[in-house]
Amino acid sequence: MINKNLLNKEVQNYIDYITHIPKWDIYTIRMRKSPFKFVSPLEIVQQMQGKKIAQTKFPFISENTQIIYPPHVNLEQASSQATAQFKQKIMSGEKGVDLTGGMGIDSFFISESSKEFFYVEPDLELLEIVTHNFSVLNKKNITFINKTAEEFLAENSTHFDFIYLDPSRRDKNNNKVILLKDLKPDVTLIQEKLLQASSSVFIKLSPLLDLQQVIDNLSVSTIFIVSVKNEAKELIVKLNPDQKPDQKNTQENLPIRCFNLETNQPEFSFYWSEEKQAKNPDYSLPESYLHIPNASILKSGAFKLISHRYNLKKLHPNTHIYTSHEIVPNFPGKVFFILDPHFIPAKSEQDKFNIISKNHPLKTAAIRKRYGLDEGGEDYLIFTRSMDKNLCILAELIE
């Protein structure tokens, strides 16, 4: 049962106060005696962590003093506000269900278009927290169900307009897992039941997961790769209702859609077979501009297609940096103007640069140490490799 004493104004003021004391870390607070009779130090730490994370990850609740935050592991797996709002755009229907409710951030946004929405969560305490929070947020179209996804599906006779689930990526010892078979629930075992309950099923997976593994083990109709400010955050798989679980995916017409949220970069989409069948790009030494695709495109593996689509040359087969004489408008990534293609850091009086290392023997930390360079400034040093040698390129970021 949730502790409503956490909502006391004095408790909330205290949590806000200690959150802004830099020298008071989590360990210090846990070791201190709580100033409140009915609120433990652990509960105070939990709310403090939640408020800090909410400020950047889900700011729409960060200033609400009536919100109760769940344990850190739930905060960690919860989608950000940005990715939840993205899902809201690709999922819709009058009746939907989130089979792995968690902290409820995804449920809050993807249920916006639904008249009736079901939040399913096996952890009773977490369910009670989310029930309370949704009440505070005046969310009234949600039915809360305390079951596992498997239990819900086994008893379900309803057909949904869409189903969403974000399988837990923690094992019984709370260690992180990535492989499909290690997720809870194991979506490879329940995909047939999922597709019986809806023809529109979306599954959130780790961005570290290999795409070929996903394609080989799930009935996939579309893969969405979602980054936020060039950091890969989620793979979202939409299941294919027309493909039987034991039927091999042909991959020929499988769309891969790449997004970089909170930027002005356009979507980059392609069919999985396109990249497989594409010719190798032309290779070249650096010309006038460098182009580095965003994290979603790099995750997708569209290393040949990006070159052909934007008429770019590649520096090296394993260097996913592209070059051109002319600037490419609306490129889905970073664009740099080359100031010096053969820069020698040891001979420069400047000692502050933004450093990028791709397909180079030295990583960023080793480069800084070797040349005594500090982070920052307006100029970039790009350490990489062409077809015949290692390069250090001085460049400025255009967009």
Decide: 206 and 248 in contact? Cβ < 8 Å. Answer: no
Place of tokens 């004493």: 5
Token output for 65? 């003093």
**What gap in Å lies between CA 364 and CA 342, rounded to an integer?**
18
CA angle 361, 363, 368 (to 5 degrees): 120
Within 13 A of 255's CA, how many CA atoms are on the CB side? 12
Upstream peptide bond of 185 is cis (omega within 30 degrees of 0): yes
Ranking 91-105, 141-155, 168-182 by mean pLDDT, the lowest is: 168-182
Token output for 145? 């169900």
Task: Report the CATH fold assignment for 77-263.
Answer: Rossmann fold (3.40.50)
Res 191 pLDDT > 60: yes
What local confidence, expressed as pLDDT, does residue 251 receive?
A: 59
Q: In this predicted model, what pLDDT tens digit does every residue of 113-135 receive, in sequence order?
A: 899 999 999 999 999 999 999 99
Report residue 390: phi and psi, to 5°: -75, 150
Q: In this predicted model, what pLDDT tens digit does every residue of 231-264 receive, in sequence order?
A: 999 999 999 998 765 666 655 689 999 999 999 9
What local confidence, expressed as pLDDT, does residue 170 receive?
A: 81
Burial bucket for residue 40 (CB in 10 Å: 0-12, 13-18, 19+): middle
Res 5 pLDDT > 90: no
**What gap in Å lies between CA 130 and CA 96, rounded to an integer?**
17
Percentage of the chain with pLDDT > 70? 96
Burial bucket for residue 1 (CB in 10 Å: 0-12, 13-18, 19+): exposed
How many other CB atoms sit within 10 Å of the CB of residue 264? 8
314 — pLDDT class (breaks 50, 70, 90): very high
pLDDT average, residue stretch 345-355: 93
Strand ranges for 301-344 from DSSP E: 313-316, 319-324, 333-340
Q: Is the full-model pTM beyond 0.85?
A: yes
